[in-house]
Amino acid sequence: MCREGLPQAGLLKSSTRAVLRALDSVVGSVAEFNKCAALAAEAPRGSKQAPESRPRSRRDSFTLEEVAQHSSEGDAWLVVKNRVYDVTAFWPVHPGGRVILTYAGRDATDVFATFHAAASWALLHEHRIGKLAAEDVAATPALLADFRDLRARLQAEGLFRASKAYYAWKAASTCALAATAVAVLAACGGTWAGVVASAALLALFWQQAGWLAHDFLHHQVFAARRLNNAAGYFLGNVCQGFSTDWWKSKHNTHHAAPNELAPGNGGAVDPDIDTLPLLAWSEGMLDALASARVRRLLRAQHYYFVPILMLARLAWAQQSVEHAWRLGKAGRGWGELGLIGLHYSWTAGVAFACLAPMQAIAYLLLGQVLCGLLLSIVFVQSHNGMEVYSGSKDFVTAQVVSTRDILSTPWTDWFTGGLNYQVEHHLFPTLPRHRLGAVAPRVAALCAQHGLAYEACGMAEGMRRVLACLASVARLA
């Protein structure tokens, strides 16, 4: 990883914690009412938001085949450590949203351990309905056993503990980008060169704030999740204008099912590849298309791909506002929308205070377009052009075959926010960004030991592979 010069923890560390606690008191209630938000945002108005409670089975054990029959919203079971749980009544209030349904009818042992704090294990007990039948309790596959052993060793070595000084430095240096953008606009806003330079800095600030929000919302920084959420709401909603609840629901599902399609119909389980009718990432996705007109469009997807990336931030901003509005209409409160409103207040305020109206509008649009490109150029190299699969895989295999690392340099480590270590991040999402480089050789060795292809390449090669994938699918459309 990039060895950036870090200030001493001391005053900066304690000041950062004090600021986050103050912010926590303001937005903590937002996190609470959003525990049910993913469901509320997606359910049609007036629809039933929680399945009716029903008597649970009194049997002691269940086969995997029986568990697999309970894989819907109205009837959801899963397996964790050879115990069977009925989460039908729990999933609407699951803090992580609908992602829990991704593993309905399946063994969720590793994905549960990866995403949840130790205290979460106790919450499982009230939903337990039995154990896995003896004939289905097989020996743990060697790959999963070695992965669990590696995770335990990383925990014992203290690698899941974040450096607060590192994150204080990252927060300060990221906010410095915003301050520099404002200073350039104030000093040189009378020229188009100043407008473009400031918009580029603003776009870079939004990108880097996004990576930082990502770290906090994966609970990489603080042991107290409320502090992580408070920082996430500030960096996500206020700094970027994105709905944190919208992002959590979408991103958690992506982690649970990267590049996964629903068996049979080719529909995307992973929302990050739910890009039809504009983009198709595999022949299986084409199976979901009946329109000849859309297929003709897709034959040119590798040509219009990069221009589409420029519009990504605008699309995500629109989806965030829509999601936050739905939360309020569903009775979940207006906190998310209020925080997004603060974002547009400060960005528009700066632009119109320094520029004539038409210049201000051009400035804000340019920042949006540039940031869309800066964000997307990192996202697409992480998974696009990797295996797109249908049906379940074990947790480790699913993460590795669908994910690509970008080779580490000081530039890529900084520009990508550590997401160039995408394989490591997907296997250990709560591992702090500055630990990923140390873990990468051990993950590569694990993959080599078990015959899993561990893909890593430079950024230019990564983009070439993405475009080559689009072109190959386009020929099949």
- Which tens digit of pLDDT belongs to each residue from 192-215? 999 999 999 999 999 999 999 999
Q: What is the DSSP letter of 292?
A: H
In angstroms, rounded to a whole number, what is the distance separating the alpha carbons of residues 249 and 269? Answer: 13
Domain presence at residue 215: yes
Residue 42 is predicted with a pLDDT of 39
Length of the chain: 477
pLDDT at 37 over 80: no
Tokens coding 307 = 């221009």
Residue 112 is predicted with a pLDDT of 84
| E-only strand ranges, 347-462 | 389-390, 404-406, 455-457
Residue 33 is predicted with a pLDDT of 39
Tokens coding 135 = 């004939």
| Last residue within a domain, chosen from 118, 139, 160 | 139
28 and 115 in a single domain? The answer is no
pLDDT at 16 over 60: no
Confidence of residue 57 (pLDDT cuts 50, 70, 90): low
Confidence of residue 372 (pLDDT cuts 50, 70, 90): very high
The DSSP code sequence of 212-227 is HHHHHHTT-S-SSHHH
In angstroms, rounded to a whole number, what is the distance separating the alpha carbons of residues 436 and 127? Answer: 35
Work out how many domains the chain is built from and give that number.
2
Domain presence at residue 109: yes
Domain presence at residue 328: yes
Residue 323 is predicted with a pLDDT of 95
Most confident stretch, 35-49, 227-241, 265-279: 227-241
133 and 206 in a single domain? The answer is no
Number of other CB atoms surrounding residue 48 within 10 Å: 11
pLDDT at 30 over 60: no
Q: Could you tell me which residues are beta bridge partners of residue 80?
A: 83
Helix H or strand E segment including 128: strand 128-132
| Last residue within a domain, chosen from 99, 116, 139 | 139
| Last residue within a domain, chosen from 114, 139, 164 | 139
241 and 301 in a single domain? The answer is yes
> Which domain, by its residues, includes 122?
61-139
Q: What CATH code is carried by the domain that includes residue 93?
A: 3.10.120.10
pLDDT at 326 over 60: yes
366 and 463 in a single domain? The answer is yes
CA dihedral 234, 237, 243, 245 (to 10 degrees): 10
Domain presence at residue 53: no
44 and 87 in a single domain? The answer is no
78 and 9 in a single domain? The answer is no
Residue 58 is predicted with a pLDDT of 56
194, 212, 314, 393, 466 from 199: Cα distances, Å? 8, 20, 15, 43, 28
Q: How much is the mean pLDDT over the chain? A: 87
250 and 132 in a single domain? The answer is no
Name residues whose C-beta falls within 8 Å of residue 293's C-beta, 6 or more positions apart in sequence: none
Question: pLDDT tens, 419-469?
Answer: 999 999 999 999 999 999 999 999 999 999 999 999 999 999 999 999 999
80 and 167 in a single domain? The answer is no
Mean pLDDT for the stretch of residues 242-265: 90
100 and 180 in a single domain? The answer is no
Domain presence at residue 465: yes
User: Going edge to edge, which strands form the sheet with 61-62?
Assistant: 61-62, 128-132, 83-86, 75-80, 71-72
Tokens coding 391 = 């049906």
104, 370, 424, 443 from 438: Cα distances, Å? 34, 32, 10, 10
Confidence of residue 304 (pLDDT cuts 50, 70, 90): very high
Cα dihedral 122, 123, 127, 133 sign: negative
Confidence of residue 56 (pLDDT cuts 50, 70, 90): low
Mean pLDDT for the stretch of residues 342-358: 96
Pick from 74, 90, 73, 71: which is nearest to 128 by CA? 90
360 and 443 in a single domain? The answer is yes
Question: pLDDT tens, 74-87?
Answer: 999 999 888 899 99
Tokens coding 294 = 């859309």
Rg, the chain, Cα only: 23
**3-state SS assignment for residue 71:** strand
CB contact at 8 A, 231 and 213: yes
Domain presence at residue 107: yes
318 and 348 in a single domain? The answer is yes
Domain presence at residue 375: yes
Residue 71 is predicted with a pLDDT of 87
Residue 402 is predicted with a pLDDT of 97
In angstroms, rounded to a whole number, what is the distance separating the alpha carbons of residues 109 and 144? Answer: 10
pLDDT at 46 over 60: no
Residue found by looking up tokens 């995997």 in the block = 64
Name residues whose C-beta falls within 8 Å of residue 100's C-beta, 6 or more positions apart in sequence: 76, 78, 87, 90, 91, 94
Domain presence at residue 56: no
Residue 32 is predicted with a pLDDT of 42
19 and 118 in a single domain? The answer is no
Burial group, residue 98, by CB count within 10 angstroms (0-12, 13-18, 19+) = middle
